[in-house]
Amino acid sequence: MRERFVEWRPRIDDAIEDLVPRVVEETYLGEFFGEATYQYQAEAIQAALADPLWDLLDRGGKRWRAILLLVIVEALGEDPEEHLSFACIPEILHNGTIIVDDVEDGARKRRGREALHQVFGTDIALNAGNAMYFIPLKVIDRNADVLSDSQRLQAYEMLTHELNRTHLGQGMDIYWHNQKAVTVNEQRYYEMCACKTGCLARIVARLAAIVTDQPDEVEHDLAAYAEEMSIAFQIGDDILDIEHTLDQAGEFGKEFGNDIREGKKTLMVIYTAQHAPAEQVARLEEILWAEDNTDEEIIEAIDIMQSVDALEYARERARELAASARGHLDDLELEPEAESDLREFTRFVIEREA
Amino acid sequence: MRERFVEWRPRIDDAIEDLVPRVVEETYLGEFFGEATYQYQAEAIQAALADPLWDLLDRGGKRWRAILLLVIVEALGEDPEEHLSFACIPEILHNGTIIVDDVEDGARKRRGREALHQVFGTDIALNAGNAMYFIPLKVIDRNADVLSDSQRLQAYEMLTHELNRTHLGQGMDIYWHNQKAVTVNEQRYYEMCACKTGCLARIVARLAAIVTDQPDEVEHDLAAYAEEMSIAFQIGDDILDIEHTLDQAGEFGKEFGNDIREGKKTLMVIYTAQHAPAEQVARLEEILWAEDNTDEEIIEAIDIMQSVDALEYARERARELAASARGHLDDLELEPEAESDLREFTRFVIEREA
């Protein structure tokens, strides 16, 4: 990550702290959420919202959604410093989805520690995660002095559209996960990625365009860039999981092959299901569906995928998507340095090693 | 419930079906959520959204939030028929919160059957519940032909405001629930009700005002009416739980004293904690905190509350709130029949017997 992005990270956290402070007081509650009819209780909201939110954020995360928004703003010729509060929107949304996803999956770990619902209880964690879906919407309202009525309405309609599709994507992913047979086709896999991962990236891009008052075509091109980059990122992530498995297999004490253990229907699995002989496909489905897997089964599953060159196919598709994402930038008039960063991101998402 | 409200109920369900049909097809998905970039999968969204939503709705529920919206619209001199899609907004939101609350509480039952996450799995149920937070926002966008830009912006900002406060109220309630000692005061209890239950009722009232283009004062008065009625309803609900317990105690095979078993910090508990002798309060806290309760403990807890006339106190407060709610209607120019219904609701919420 470039030096200046690293410098932005604490600034982004400061901006998030302006929205949800680490120490909650009643004056903040009245100011941010509107006056109480009777009386708020700061310590309850501290425990129910601020503590879980900061526990998760302080564990790490690159804040790349916020950074991407700031780079796009810069590419559009505006000052990123003035748009820090908008950069918090996709970042808080993203961390909210992490908490909710972990409850949905019954996950035990997150960023190297216990999942939030394990630490705080499902009730507190889930309510905090859901609050993090609505706090970002408040940011639009709070910026009525810098955004016109029309910009705020555009932002709300955009967020409504993208957050609805996020839930469609998650629904498709869960549905496939709950089935043994691999029935998904490639187009639907891309759609799931476009909805589940892509919509948050589209929020990043479209919000940057809306708050800087761009024409519709610019917003559209930036959204398409962000969406395709996200799909490439998702495929890249799945390839990385297999590559790590191949590197680590046999090393003492290391758990590997997480995606296979979880039974994830990745692009490689889908491709294999369509190109390998029926009995190999059946065996792959069996391994993916099993409650537990031996290390040998993990290797066997990868061998089946390798037998039809599924990794190579996925890598090729990710490269094509990344190239197509870059193509959406071609017609835009962007600041050269920031544009070069935007292009660099599309390479990074598939070439990275961790 | 009056005859005409009963007649509205199937109309409301038809309107919800227009938003989320019982049978999902790809054409609907493209029309409602926007064209797919690649390809949706109707059967996945059927299983992940339509099936859980309709499973819950078909179990019953009076749809009173939708009905209240239609009555307010009528009171304001407009035709309820034309506002059915808006009436779906609070109804879908409410049913979404039910699914999410049941996951948060680890509830086993809902409307006489297994809780949704027990039937569909936590992943599907929770994603559907959360989708039901965002589908209603789509209704605003979809009505761009009948709502002006300014009305849509007002609606989004109102929904953002109220849905944020809903999560504050839920956070306060969970926080108290997770503590043994009763530290809540009355003002904060009312605030919790105003946020957790009241905000959805405020959405009903404010939305009715916004879509019929009322002045701010009218929206404000209607919101205050709805909020106070909700708090009265909540207190009435808690009184009813105790009254049922007193009626049923000793009857063979009936489970009773649910609120005490759950350790709910009701207004009666809070009042008792402030007015009973310290050792009685300690005993009450012990019974509320215990994992399980015997029937004798339930009766003992009620006796402690009765010793300071906590039920009578709560009933009196509910009556005051209901009267105050009616007072907010005094300055409004409303259609007489519908106004009389609105006043009747405030009596029903505390006098009902089930």
pLDDT for the residue numbered A122: 98
Of A40, A160, A171, which has the smallest distance from its Cβ to B141's Cβ?
A160
- pLDDT digits over B54-99, tens only? 999 999 989 999 999 999 999 999 999 999 999 999 999 999 999 9
Amino acid at A288: L
The mean of the pLDDT values for chain B is: 95
Quickly state the pLDDT bin for B350 (edges 50, 70, 90). confident
Quickly state the pLDDT bin for B130 (edges 50, 70, 90). very high
Cα A161–chain centre separation = 17
Q: Tell me the chain B residues in contact with residue A19 when contact means C-beta distances shorter than 8 Å.
A: none
Can you tell me the mean pLDDT for B128-150? 97
A71-88 CB burial, b ≥16 within 10 A, e <16: bbbbbbebebeebbbbbb
Find out whether B266 and B176 touch, Cβ atoms under 8 Å: no
Quickly state the pLDDT bin for B246 (edges 50, 70, 90). confident
Structural tokens at position A275? 């190109």
**Which of A40, A98, A227 is the best substitution to test chain B (most B C-beta atoms within 10 A)?**
A40
Can you tell me the mean pLDDT for B292-300? 93
- What are the boundaries of each domain within chain B? 1-146, 148-354
Q: Where are the alpha helices (DSSP H) in chain A?
A: 3-19, 26-33, 42-45, 51-57, 64-75, 84-105, 116-120, 122-142, 149-177, 186-196, 198-211, 216-248, 258-262, 267-275, 278-289, 295-307, 310-327, 336-351
DSSP letter (8 states) at residue A114: E
Q: Please answer yes or no on whether B133 and A137 come within 8 Å at the CB atom.
A: no
Q: Tell me the chain B residues in contact with residue A39 when contact means C-beta distances shorter than 8 Å.
A: 185, 187-188, 191
Decide: helix, strand or coil at residue A235.
helix
Q: Tell me the chain B residues in contact with residue A123 when contact means C-beta distances shorter than 8 Å.
A: 104-105, 174, 177-178
Q: Which of A202, A243, A191 is closest to A226 using CA atoms? A: A202
CA dist B65 and A275 (Å) reads 53
Q: Please answer yes or no on whether A123 and B178 come within 8 Å at the CB atom.
A: yes
- Which chain A residues in 79-138 lie under 8 Å from chain B, judged by CB atoms? 100, 103-106, 121-124, 126-128, 130-131, 133-135, 137-138
Quickly state the pLDDT bin for B30 (edges 50, 70, 90). very high
Q: What is the mean pLDDT of each run of 10 residues along chain A (354 residues)?
A: 83 98 97 97 97 97 95 97 97 98 94 96 98 98 97 98 98 96 95 97 98 98 98 94 80 72 95 97 97 92 97 97 98 96 92 73
Find out whether A256 and A245 touch, Cβ atoms under 8 Å: yes
**CATH 1.10.600.10, applies to A148-354:** yes
Burial of A165 (0-12, 13-18, 19+ CB in 10 A): buried
Q: A145 CB contacts (<8 Å, ≥6 apart)?
A: none
Structural tokens at position B59? 């179990």
pLDDT for the residue numbered B5: 86
B142 interface with A at CB cutoff 8 Å: no
pLDDT for the residue numbered A245: 83
Strands B109-110 and A113-114: unpaired
> Do the domains B1-146 and B148-354 sit in the same CATH topology, yes or no?
yes
pLDDT for the residue numbered A252: 56
CATH code, B1-146:
1.10.600.10
B181-207 CB burial, b ≥16 within 10 A, e <16: ebebeeebbbbbbbbbbbbbbbbbbbb
Find out whether A198 and A227 touch, Cβ atoms under 8 Å: yes
Q: Please answer yes or no on whether B167 and A126 come within 8 Å at the CB atom.
A: no
Q: A306 CB contacts (<8 Å, ≥6 apart)?
A: none
Q: Tell me the chain A residues in contact with residue B105 when contact means C-beta distances shorter than 8 Å.
A: 123
Can you tell me the mean pLDDT for B281-289? 97
Find out whether A207 and A152 touch, Cβ atoms under 8 Å: no
pLDDT for the residue numbered B349: 85
Structural tokens at position B55? 């499973």
Q: Which of B346, B101, B117 is closest to B235 using CA atoms? A: B346
Q: Which residues pair with B113 in a beta bridge?
A: B110
pLDDT for the residue numbered B6: 87
Q: Please answer yes or no on whether B167 and A127 come within 8 Å at the CB atom.
A: yes
Structural tokens at position A244? 């790590």
| CA-based nearest distance A135→chain B, Å | 6
Q: Tell me the chain B residues in contact with residue A153 when contact means C-beta distances shorter than 8 Å.
A: 149, 152-153, 156
pLDDT for the residue numbered A3: 79
